[in-house]
A and B are shown apart, each in its own frame.
Chain A
Amino acid sequence: MLDDLMHLVRGMGVTFGTMFKKPVTIAYPEVKRPVSDRFRGRHELKRYDNGLERCIGCSLCSAACPADAILVVPAENRDEERYSPGERYAAVYEINMLRCIFCGFCEEACPVDAIVLEHEYELAAYDRREMLYTKSMLLVPTAAGVGGTPQDTRGRDVPFRMGGMDYFKTPLEVKRALPAGPSSVGAGE
């Protein structure tokens, strides 16, 4: 009998003891637990420090995606209307977040570090259609760009022409339709 009581007291002791310990749960959503640096959450489409989009519309993310969640429709940049450095950009970029399994293969496949899985994980919605994340939803603000474009050679000490060959030519008359000969993009002339 007394033995039984002791069992009870010991049990309650654990209970009361725990009441004064620091709790392991947190008061989500008021409080959020930090995620690891390598956490794979909602995607973001990054920009360069000059504000141009990094994405070049190459569709490699879409090819790598095991869930077939990404749609890319490329288009050509024009000088009047430039989205990314170089020739090509993504006119349409969509991720179906209902399909995505957050494997990060797209990030892995991207040759220009444009698509990055960030730390946001609150991705619920009341409507399936809202789960189609469009390019404008995925793009980071213009000011948030980092890094110089591949064409940008500031601070890089590299020769631009092989063997110091300085090569110019007179365009032939018949080539008048073509822009003049070789140039060195970003050589600072």
Chain B
Amino acid sequence: MATNGSAPKLVNVMIDGRPAAVGAGTNVVDAAHAAGVEIPIFCHHPKLVPVGMCRMCLVEVGTPGVDPATKAPILDDEGAPVIKYFPKLMAGCTTVVSEGMHVRTGTPAVAEAREAVLEFLLTSHPLDCPVCDKGGECPLQNLTMRYGPGRSRFVWGEKFHYPKPVPVGPLIALDRERCVLCARCIRFEDEIADDQVLGFENRGRGMEIVSFSDPPLDSVFSGNTTDVCPVGALTTADFRFESRVWELESRPAVCPHCAVGCNIGYDTRHGRVLRVMPREHDAVNEIWLCDKGRFGHGFTTAEGRLTHPLVRDISGALVATTWDDALTRVAEALKRTVAEGGPAAVGGVAGATLTNEDAYAFGRFLRAVVGTNNVDHRPKVIADDSVHRFGAGADTIVHALGAGHAIVVVGLDAEAEAPVLFLSLNKARRQGAALITLSTAPQKLDRHASHLRAVPGSEATLLAALVRAALEAEYEPVDGASVPSGALPNAAVPNAAVPSAAARVLADRLADHGPAAVHGVHPVDPDAVAQAGKALASAGGVLWIYGRSAVDAGLVPLMAAYAAATGQHGRAGTGLVAVGRHANAQGVADMGLTPDRLPGHARVDDAAARERLADVWPSLPSSEPGLDAGAMLAGGVQALYVLGTDPVGDDPALDLRANGVRTLIVQDLYLTPTAAQADIVLPAQSAAERDGTFTSLLRRVQRTYAAVDPVGHARADWKVLRDLAARYGDAESFAAPSDVFDEIARAVPAYAGLSYAALGPAIRTAPTDIFLPFAPLTEARSVSYIGTRYENRHGIGAAWLTPAEATYAAGDTAAHEAVAADGGEDAFAGYAVAADDALHAAAGDDLVLIPTAILFDAGRLVASSTVLHPLVPRPFVAFSPFDALQRGLVEGGRVRVTGAGGTFEAEVVVQDGVTPGTALAPESLGIAVRAAVGGERAGRVRVEVVAAGPIERGASPTPAPRPSSSPSTTATVTPGQI
């Protein structure tokens, strides 16, 4: 990874007679691991700062002796340095290696210390292994078997008793008897998740883990505490007593909930998914998962799922039919529409949760078989080719960035929209990366970032000020005398030394929009903008991570122009990263599910792309762009094919019939509100039922594998589309998703060379990598990760290269220079540095309502999980304390919000950090927030109080503890009876 600085200094150590050279600053436990020696640990975890609490890692440590008088090393008769061992055992996790250090782990003193530590840990440990959900993958079990005394001097009756598990949070059960007080859970939440929610209470034997947040364990990463917990003290609610771990069959997959692309394993038994565990991927999720990914697996069950194709009978009711009948009807309806209104009368809208294969097959069917360019996906975050041209380097690992890097997060609530990316950003920040957030709404990331708050409607001016400040700081002092040609991506030159012509042009264009211009417009200090600009200028690499709000606000062109003009793209840690709201937002855009782009981000009239596709497709669509999703849903087409998205659910007022859609075909998991309006409904397979690939936000193409059997007669989307195409006489008969992918590799240049085999299991060379089928890694070779974790044995995928990278990697200098000279002129042309005055100064009593994202939304994917469902809040609107005071709004009260496009009622939340004059309302909570603001990113609304005081709490947003966790054996059975 070409991230920052030089390689750390190496230190030579000798561990049990084995030499190892490790980086300075490594601790003895990790050094021993590198040398192939196990030092047992409980409290240490390589992802956490060592604390030295458990003493399990005691070893003998010696350093070369030095003569106190002469300061010369003491040598023995053979000239080797004499090692002086410390008189006492040292804790390996808190001892940092030094040159020439010797470590002994096999001595009687060490063995005795380990026995003693284990015996003490077990003095009050319950005899729970047979009923403990950790049993079988429990580090305490394993280390006791390996290093324990084999007997105990403490009898059962002397153990300390607590009521059996208590819900420490809504998703996590705590069994205090089993806790070994290693503080890993506390430290995970503090250090990694930045959630100060757990702590110790009391002392001595009474010490216990408590949550002091309200609601308890208020963290969307709480599931990870059960992985790092080295015992069964913390266990998950969904897996409680479901199975023993050795009975599980684990299937590798990619999380279908967001664009990060976390590697997961579906642990199944008897064809049911019982839990989701992280698979390690050092470039994606390390070893973490968010709670949505871990607990949101209810969609894999049959409950509520469509099992048969449905068609309308004479009375208009939806009735089950066969696939053959349904597909014939679909083909007939589409053919009829084309005969009447031409191919342009047909259109298709897809969701961004499809696999690449399904998305490609959808676009291929509509474009190459039906012949229409009316293809789109929603919600659309990647609408142009900015990421394709100026994307982040394919070897970018966000959590590996540190000092010398700047990361700008624009219009993205990282924790809500891409939670594990939040962890990566937080880690990069801890490692010294400059973090800048620019948005209209507050978010957790702001705590430690330079936060630039924009007023809604004028985001463009604030971003312009930031970019101008950066360019000023970077280029002004250079005198502008000689201006070399564009800085080359991948060139090993510090960017600051190469002011490119394009950067100067860009700086000039923004001359009137410097930091001073934000004064009085945005609630941010111009100096702060200038400072942030300096941080960008002085950074060796600038990574732009943006979300849907940034796209809606039209900010992408300027980010692209900056990246292009400064040559800051296509290297690790530089360039653009688009964060869609769904798992395959990048992939569906790559597959060409946009009305004006063919697969591979080429324009529909691009001659080269059309020539390429002519070889692959049976026919080509016209070279005119088609209608976008909004136009199609508004009745721009007569026959609409909706695949894996629910526009009516997002806007209940939407009536596709009234809009003029005559034939509606819906393919989905559930009978969604959109499907309820359809003529033909086709049952789709969920992510856990199909093979395929997803492309992550860092453009990493990763395979996901079927874990369970399909529900009912549900079919893979690509198969359905293949069979439909066959009804048009299309000869292409894909037999497997890999066939579809092979065609993708021919149709999309960036995917060329990729195949299922290439994305599959990585070649492993280390001798310790004995291939066991997906075994839990609590064995010796994973000592560093002791805790629950699964090794990734199914390939790490591959990130596709942007043209700048690809030409560089291919050594095609001429082509590379041509690409690198692209200063993003045309990208900038799409940028309007203007304020939307209508929004900007909300007149009178109006507020500006901003639709926001929320992690646990009311969508079916979350709602289908019994443990997550109670965490979905009731619809609410967040006001600033200032506005709340002015309008007499009280937390828990109820308001009616009326905007240009509609009205809704919701509960009042008063939240610090909201810009006065704005109000935030999460989308996807069952109310049409975005529709109320006319489908825009923000809109003026009127707020009326419906109920002033706190209304009675029905379904409390504070989750009730899981009923079955009610633990006490003494509650109804009197002591002595049981």
Contact = CB atoms under 8 A, between A and B. Distances in A.
A and B bind: yes
A86 B132 CA distance: 11
B167 A177 contact: yes
Interface residues of B, number: 53
A177 B959 CA distance: 10
Contact of A88 (B131, B167, B210, B975): B131
B970 A76 contact: no
Interface stretch (A17-25, A33-41, A181-189): A181-189
A158 B158 contact: yes
A169 B964 contact: no
Interface in A132-189: 149-154, 156, 158-162, 165, 167, 169, 172, 174-175, 177-189
Given A58-B131, A151-B969, A183-B161, A162 B124 contact: yes
A50 B242 contact: no
A59 B976 contact: no
A135 to B, nearest CB: 16
A141 to B, nearest CB: 19
B966 A78 contact: yes
B244 interface: yes
Given A167-B206, A184-B161, A154 B976 contact: yes
A29 to B, nearest CB: 39
B163 A183 contact: yes
A75 interface: yes
A182 B162 contact: yes
Specify the main secondary structure of chain A where it touches its partner: loop
A56 B127 CA distance: 13
Contact of A75 (B213, B241, B246, B975): B241
B971 A79 contact: yes
B813 interface: no
A148 B862 CA distance: 45
Contact of A59 (B127, B163, B204, B247): B247
Interface string A42-66: 0000001010100011111011000
A60 B964 contact: no
A136 B578 CA distance: 58
A130 interface: no
B241 A87 contact: yes
Given A154-B976, A172-B210, A174-B212, A58 B130 contact: yes
A11 interface: no
Given A58-B131, A177-B961, A186-B976, A169 B206 contact: yes
B130 A183 contact: no
B27 to A, nearest CB: 33
Contacts of B969: 85-87, 151, 185
Nearest to A88: B131
Contacts, number: 142
Contacts of B135: 58
Contacts of B966: 78-79
Contact of A79 (B156, B243, B973): B973
Contact of B131 (A87, A156, A160, A184): A87
Contacts of B161: 160, 182-185
A152 B976 CA distance: 5
A187 B969 CA distance: 12
B202 A169 contact: yes
Contact of A185 (B240, B961, B970, B972): B970
Nearest to B958: A177
Interface residues of A, number: 55
A111 interface: yes
Contact of B167 (A52, A151, A178, A188): A178
A27 to B, nearest CB: 45
Contact of A174 (B131, B211, B240): B211
Interface in B159-197: 160-168, 176
Interface in A73-93: 73-76, 78-80, 82, 85-88
B844 interface: no
Specify the main secondary structure of chain B where it touches its partner: loop
Contact of B201 (A50, A149, A150, A172): A172
B216 interface: yes
B206 A182 contact: yes
B160 A162 contact: yes
B210 A82 contact: no
Contacts of A167: 205-206
A188 B976 contact: yes
Nearest to B170: A177
A78 B964 contact: yes
B978 interface: yes
A162 B158 contact: yes
B157 interface: yes
Contacts of A111: 127, 129-130
Nearest to B205: A162
A138 B744 CA distance: 57
A186 B976 CA distance: 6
Given A75-B241, A162-B160, A169-B202, A179 B216 contact: no
Nearest to B960: A177
B166 A178 contact: yes
A1 B211 CA distance: 107
Contacts of A59: 243-244, 247
A183 B970 contact: yes
B214 interface: yes
Nearest to A158: B157
B766 interface: no
Contact of B244 (A63, A159, A160, A189): A63
Contacts of B975: 151, 185-189
A51 B732 CA distance: 67
Contacts of B205: 162, 165, 167
A63 B135 CA distance: 13
A177 B973 contact: no
Contacts of A158: 155-158
Nearest to B162: A182
Interface of B: 124, 127, 129-131, 135, 155-158, 160-168, 176, 201-202, 204-206, 210-214, 216, 240-244, 246-247, 961, 963-964, 966-973, 975-978
14 contacts: A63-B246, A75-B241, A78-B964, A79-B966, A79-B972, A87-B969, A112-B130, A151-B975, A160-B158, A169-B206, A172-B201, A177-B216, A182-B163, A184-B161
Given A87-B131, A165-B205, A182-B163, 6 more contacts: A78-B963, A85-B978, A87-B969, A174-B214, A185-B969, A189-B975
